[in-house]
Amino acid sequence: MYHNHEATLLHDKVYALLGMSGISSDDLSKASLLPNYKVEWEELLQRLAKFLLCEKISVNTWSGKEIAVIKSKGCILGMISSVQNIISLDGRQGVDVIFKNISGQLGYREERSAHWTL
């Protein structure tokens, strides 16, 4: 969604999105995510992933790369069935999700799905 917006430094994307997120500066401070361009990119990306997901995850990053390998334990709740090709003017994109039939174990047979706009 924001992949085609340009930034001088990789840090700029993270700090801009956090600034627009409405997350309090107290919460960002506790997670060491207040703007600080002295922090290495790899460290910033690791802090961000742990803040957004969970402190217990393992995050591998590489210098100057906008990529991370995140390892954790979890449960698959469903799958993405389709993604809209059209991105709206505000950068949003529609995603259709089909949930795994967890409720089938309780006797329900109906397939559950949702449409999310991200």
Q: Both 15 and 67 in a single domain?
A: yes
Task: Decide: 70 and 57 in contact? Cβ < 8 Å.
Answer: yes
Is the pLDDT at 117 greater than 80, yes or no?
yes
What pLDDT, in 10s, does the model give residues 48-91?
A: 999 999 999 999 998 888 899 999 988 888 889 999 988 888 88
Is the pLDDT at 46 greater than 60, yes or no?
yes
Is the pLDDT at 93 greater than 80, yes or no?
yes
Q: Both 16 and 66 in a single domain?
A: yes
Residue 4 maps to a domain? no
**Could you tell me the residue range of the domain that residue 99 belongs to?**
78-117
What pLDDT shows up at residue 5? 61
Q: Quickly state the pLDDT bin for 96 (edges 50, 70, 90).
A: very high
Q: Both 35 and 67 in a single domain?
A: yes
Euclidean distance between CA atoms 78 and 97, whole angstroms: 7
Residue 106 maps to a domain? yes
What pLDDT, in 10s, does the model give residues 26-42?
A: 999 999 999 999 999 99
**DSSP readout, 55-95?**
TT-EEEE-TT-S-EEEE------EEEEEE-SPPPTTS--EE
What pLDDT shows up at residue 56? 92
Q: Both 89 and 104 in a single domain?
A: yes
What pLDDT shows up at residue 55? 92
Task: Decide: 18 and 27 in contact? Cβ < 8 Å.
Answer: no
Q: Both 87 and 59 in a single domain?
A: no
Evaluate if pTM is beyond 0.85: no
Residue 26 maps to a domain? yes
Longest CA pairwise span in the chain (Å): 56
